């Protein structure tokens, strides 16, 4: 393959896809969004994409790839469906957080070729307010960068974390070392997208793909009783319109690996009807 002369890459990064509604919304709009934003690659977070809103399956991975996703990242719900364990072992197009123990299936870092250009993608999970006791994501990031620096200058990081302070900290920690740090996990899109001082694109949270009038993708009728009574409640993915698809489009200089721009995307769909 010849050396690419393309001066920049445009990467569409999409937030947590929630259940069947999220999958259908991605299928409906992925090609249009790729064309509208002239995206060279599409990366999404799929850890909530099964019908329960927790986990992902090999069938869903094939669905995402068929509908234009180049890579899928995840987070703390990656283990929600054990059908995915073997897939993680055999494939690198689905990442789990790199700071999970090495004995876990899968990997948290990979490289993909886009238009003849190698890009690195890293998946990390935060520790503040998270249940899992994981290795330090900052130390893990430094170790991974030692591995990636010889392979590419274009590196994207999905930091799946609860606390905005931890996400912002990771952004500044990696500023100038990677092309972008995007947060996932809270499902609420933030309005702080920017280029950090040393050239790294950043947003605290990409948001989600799911029902607009839900509680982070779940039916409010199933979530509110838990807050009020503190009793267990079975959360159910909300399948009622309107729906929203949230993410960012990031343009990256292929020579320097620095971000040129980051633009927030929030698409509202009033017409989608969710059907199995």
Active-site positions read 77
CA–CA distances in Å: residue 91 to residues 17, 110, 140: 20, 10, 21
Distance from C-alpha of 90 to C-alpha of 102, rounded to nearest angstrom: 15
Token pair, residue 27, equals 């299928």
Distance from C-alpha of 210 to C-alpha of 214, rounded to nearest angstrom: 8
| Sign (positive or negative) of CA dihedral 226, 18, 39, 41 | positive
8 A C-beta contact, residue 41 and residue 11: yes
- The three-point CA angle 14-16-17 to 5° equals 90
């Amino acid at each position: 393959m010849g050396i690419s002369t393309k001066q920049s890459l445009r990467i569409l990064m999409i937030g947590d896809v929630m259940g069947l509604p999220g999958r259908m919304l991605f299928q409906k709009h992925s090609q249009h969004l790729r064309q509208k934003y002239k995206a060279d690659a599409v990366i999404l977070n799929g850890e909530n994409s099964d019908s329960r809103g927790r986990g992902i399956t090999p069938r869903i991975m094939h669905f995402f790839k068929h509908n234009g996703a180049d890579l899928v990242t995840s987070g703390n719900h990656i283990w929600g469906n054990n059908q995915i364990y073997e897939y993680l072992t055999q494939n690198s197009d689905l990442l789990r957080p790199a700071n999970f123990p090495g004995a876990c299936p899968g990997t948290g870092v990979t490289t993909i070729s886009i238009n003849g250009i190698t890009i690195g993608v890293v998946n990390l999970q935060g520790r503040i307010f998270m249940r899992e006791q994981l290795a330090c994501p900052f130390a893990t990031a430094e170790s991974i960068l030692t591995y990636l620096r010889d392979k590419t200058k274009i590196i994207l990081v999905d930091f799946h974390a609860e606390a905005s302070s931890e996400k912002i900290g990771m952004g500044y920690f990696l500023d100038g070392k990677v092309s972008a740090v995007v947060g996932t996990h809270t499902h609420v899109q933030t309005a702080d997208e920017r280029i950090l001082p040393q050239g790294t694109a950043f947003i605290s949270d990409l948001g989600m793909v799911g029902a607009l009038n839900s509680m982070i993708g779940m039916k409010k009728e199933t979530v509110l009783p838990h807050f009020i009574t503190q009793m267990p409640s079975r959360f159910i993915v909300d399948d009622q319109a309107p729906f929203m698809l949230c993410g960012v489009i990031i343009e990256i200089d292929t020579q320097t690996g620095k971000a040129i721009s980051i633009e927030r995307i929030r698409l509202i769909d009033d017409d989608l009807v969710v059907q199995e």
